[in-house]
Amino acid sequence: MSSAAALDVQHLTMRFGGLVAVNDLNFVAAQRDITAIIGPNGAGKTTVFNCLTGFYRPTVGQLTFHGKNGPVLLEQMDGFRIPREGIARTFQNIRLFANMSVLENLIVAQHNRLMVESGFSVLGLLGAARYRKAEREAVELAKFWLDRTGLGPRADWNAGSLPYGEQRKLEIARAMCTQPTLLCLDEPAAGLNPRETADLSQLLLDIRDEHKVAILLIEHDMGLVMRISDHIVVLDYGRKIADGTPDEVRSDPAVIKAYLGEPEEEELPPEVKADLGVEGTA
């Protein structure tokens, strides 16, 4: 599935005082691939996302994103400009506008584009035909993602009153309404039941295949990661310890050791063996 680079991370290092959260990390995420970043708690995964999306300025490193406007260096940009280049993200702790409706959340996500069409003027907002056209398109796009995520019947609900699994879907729908070429998802399956997780897997595969979006995925659900990822980067204590296909990564002794402490296969719980694909599993 791999093609040209969507994102090229070179020598990314992020220090917090004496703590090195990410240590000289190099990897490439290809366009139209699902690239997972996995690793035990505290390995540095969210810090990588925060560096990519302008929340943190890396201590060292070059982050080249090949987006809508050609290659740009993310480490030189502020967090407001990065979404305009075509990067969207969701958060480990859901961040929706809880008191706005589901539909409103999807319209607000398109605020940047609507403001550009208004010419940043009140006259533009009130009268310009091109603003009204953009507004109609924004509603159409919102409806598309409502349908695609099965949230259509909940369009008028307050986002905060949705069940947890649907809030996760709304976060993805909202991110897709910004029409990104790179979608960064921080633990999208956290708190989902098995059926919701299966739906999420299919949604992410469809986003990759039908909308030609590269996906960067942080996830602790190894079953999901192994099923849908084209490429996996494994971190431990901020360092990359493995980088390859699911088959290459799951049987890598360094990965098993990072997750389980010791590579004694007999002592691995059966479900962990199954997820990692260690021989002799049921």
Ligand X SMILES: Nc1ncnc2c1ncn2[C@@H]1O[C@H](COP(=O)(O)OP(=O)(O)OP(=O)(O)O)[C@@H](O)[C@H]1O
Residue 237 CB, shortest distance to ligand X, in Å, is 9
What is the nearest approach in angstroms of ligand X to the Cβ of residue 72?
23
Nearest distance, CB of residue 233 and ligand X, angstroms: 12
From CA 105, how far away is CA 138, in angstroms rounded?
Answer: 12
Q: What residues have CB less than 8 Å from 271, skipping those under 6 apart?
A: none
- CB of 221 vs ligand X, minimal distance in Å: 12
Q: Number of C-alpha atoms within 13 angstroms, CB side, residue 222? A: 19
Q: CA-to-CA distance for 24 and 61, rounded, in angstroms?
A: 8
Q: Which residue has the tokens 């907002």?
A: 125
**C-alpha pair distances (Å), 54 with each of 1, 77, 80, 168, 192:** 28, 7, 8, 22, 28
The least distance separating ligand X from the CB of residue 275, rounded to whole angstroms, comes to: 16
Q: Report the residue number, 85 or 186, with the smaller CB distance to ligand X.
A: 186
> Which pair of tokens denotes residue 282?
């049921």
Judged by beta carbon, residue 117 or residue 186, the one nearer ligand X is: 186
The upper half-sphere exposure of residue 2, i.e. CA atoms within 13 Å in the direction of its Cβ, equals 11
Q: Cα torsion for 45, 167, 145, 153, to the nearest 10°?
A: 170
The residues that bridge with 37 in the sheet, in sequence order, are: 218, 233
Q: Which is nearer to ligand X, 45 or 174 (CB)?
A: 45
We find the least distance from the C-beta atom of residue 151 to ligand X, in angstroms, to be 26
The smaller minimum CB distance to ligand X, of residues 39 and 67, is found at 39
Interatomic CA distance for residues 129 and 269, integer angstroms: 62
Whose Cβ is closer to ligand X: residue 42's or residue 165's? 42
Contact residues toward ligand X (CB under 6 A) are: 16, 19, 21, 39, 41-47
Where b means 16+ CB within 10 Å and e means fewer, 9-30 reads: beebbbeeeeebbbbebebbbb
Nearer residue to ligand X within complex by CB, 32 or 45 = 45
Q: Which residue from 80, 79, 85 is spatially nearest to 181, judged by alpha carbons?
A: 85
User: Of 31 and 47, which has the nearer Cβ to ligand X?
Assistant: 47
Three-state secondary structure call for residue 96: coil
Q: What is the DSSP letter of 10?
A: E
Q: How far is the CB of 43 from ligand X (least distance, A)?
A: 4
Which tokens hold the place of 161? 């009153």
Nearer to ligand X, 20 or 100 (CB): 20
Query: Could you tell me the smallest distance in angstroms from the CB atom of residue 244 to ligand X?
Result: 19
